[in-house]
């Protein structure tokens, strides 16, 4: 329980900092990072353990703000944080999916190579068995 409480404190501090940086309320922050308001406040109040997915979403939002080359414009309200954050998160999610597809394709290629190798081994074994049967005759 101590570990979960510590996580909730850290999550609360980080969401507070992010909402302050973006000059939006915590209620408005929840959809920006891709979680419901109910879950945001449940995590903050130590009602549920914080999922890895929620941590990743928070981290992506923090990176979006940190990587912005004109943070003053973002914090000063000259740049629309919604549009920027949405654009960044869409690129991030797309990148994750493309990475997963690439990994799946690599795995499929490895599995095909293994299947080919096993097929060749089976063919070789069959020929060996056939040769042994022929030599017994």
Domain ranges of the chain: 2-136
Cα–Cα distance between 132 and 97 in angstroms, integer? Answer: 52
- 3-class secondary structure, 80: coil
Rounded to 10 deg, the angle between the 2-22 and 26-33 helix axes is 100
Give the whole-angstrom CA distance, residue 96 versus residue 125. Answer: 43
Pick from 13, 15, 67: which is nearest to 37 by CA? 15
pLDDT at 70: 47
Q: The tokens 């973002």 sit on which residue?
A: 74
Q: What is the pLDDT along the chain (137 residues), one digit of tens a residue?
A: 455 688 889 999 999 988 888 888 999 999 888 899 999 999 999 999 999 899 988 888 887 777 664 455 555 555 566 666 666 666 655 656 666 666 777 788 888 889 889 989 999 988 888 888 777 76
Neighbours of 54 (CB within 10 A): 18
| Beta carbons of 73 and 79 less than 8 angstroms apart | yes
The pLDDT of residue 99: 63
């Amino acid at each position: 329980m101590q570990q979960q409480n510590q996580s909730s404190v850290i999550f609360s501090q980080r969401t507070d900092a992010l909402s302050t940086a973006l000059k939006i309320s915590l209620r408005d922050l929840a959809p920006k990072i891709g979680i419901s308001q109910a879950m945001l406040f449940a995590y903050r109040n130590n009602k549920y353990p914080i999922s890895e997915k929620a941590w990743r979403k928070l981290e992506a939002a923090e990176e979006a703000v940190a990587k912005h080359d004109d943070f003053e414009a973002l914090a000063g309200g000259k740049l629309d944080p919604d549009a920027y954050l949405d654009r960044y998160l869409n690129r991030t999610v797309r990148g994750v999916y493309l990475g997963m597809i690439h990994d799946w394709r690599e795995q499929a290629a490895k599995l095909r190579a293994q299947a080919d190798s096993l097929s060749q081994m089976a063919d070789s074994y069959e020929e060996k068995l056939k040769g042994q049967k022929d030599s017994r005759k």
